[in-house]
Amino acid sequence: MFADFKGLFRYEAYLLVGFSMALIPKVKDLFLDFKKYCRTEILISILIAMNILLLIYKGWIAHQVIDNGGKNIYEQQIQSARFLHTYYNNSKVVANDIGAISYYTDIHLLDIIGLGSEETIVFNENRKTFDHKFEDFLTRYCLKNKYDIAVVYDGWFQGHIPGNWKKAAVLKIKNKVTVARLEVSIYSINRDNFQQLQQNIRNFNWDKNVTVVLKD
């Protein structure tokens, strides 16, 4: 529903398989008489050449993804999931980029963007940007349903983070490849639990490559 092609290798593989299935039956003569085929099937020859160049380029990009992409996910999203599993495994949590935290925990999740929970789709559809209506909704919804903490990218809120949320810490990593932001913020939605949240952040055994900055 919200799919696009800007993510690295997100949907290209499916297109490449479809392209290959359509093209391979037409190129068998290429291997029998290469020069003749290139002269008679100019369009297909150009498409093949373009895809070879594209595969070389993608191979170079893929090397960077393999080298640092998994490291990004481990340092940011897996660490967030481990923290939530340790201290907030059955809590109500607001988050974005929810793959790891959904897989490794039993949290009650409100996904604000991307796939999005049902309640937030109206604020995400048709490439809408977050505004004061979204901020008002999130403020009221989280209070009414007694959400505990938020683990989010500040930049995705475009300045509309609920005023009653209190930032407890920022988690920073380096060399962004596969994650959307280098920094993840942890907020206390229930302000009565702010001190305990910060203590949990201090006590948790974060990966050595994660820089944890506590906020006042």
The string of pLDDT tens digits covering residues 130-167 is: 889 999 999 999 999 999 999 999 998 888 999 999 99
pLDDT at 1 over 70: no
pLDDT at 203 over 90: yes
The string of pLDDT tens digits covering residues 170-197 is: 999 998 988 989 999 999 999 999 999 9
pLDDT of residue 172: 98
The domains of the chain are located at 12-66, 68-214
The string of pLDDT tens digits covering residues 83-121 is: 999 999 999 999 998 889 999 999 999 999 877 788 888
CATH topology of domain 68-214: Rossmann fold (3.40.50)
Query: What is the mean predicted confidence (pLDDT) over 33-45?
Result: 78
Query: What is the mean predicted confidence (pLDDT) over 36-65?
Result: 78
**pTM for the whole structure:** 0.77
pLDDT of residue 127: 67
Helix/strand/coil (H/E/C) assignment for every residue in the chain: CCCCCCCCCCCHHHHHHHHHHHHHHHCHHHHCCHHHHHHHCHHHHHHHHHHHHHHHHHHHHHHHHHHHHHHHHHHHHHHHHHHHHHHCCCCEEEECCCHHHHHHCCCEEEECCCCCCHHHHHHHHHHCCCCHHHHHHHHHHHHHCCCCEEEECHHHHCCCCCCCCEEEEEEECCCCCCCCCCEEEEEECCHHHHHHHHHHHHHCCCCCCCEEEECC
Q: Please give the mean pLDDT across all residues of the chain.
A: 86
pLDDT at 122 over 60: yes
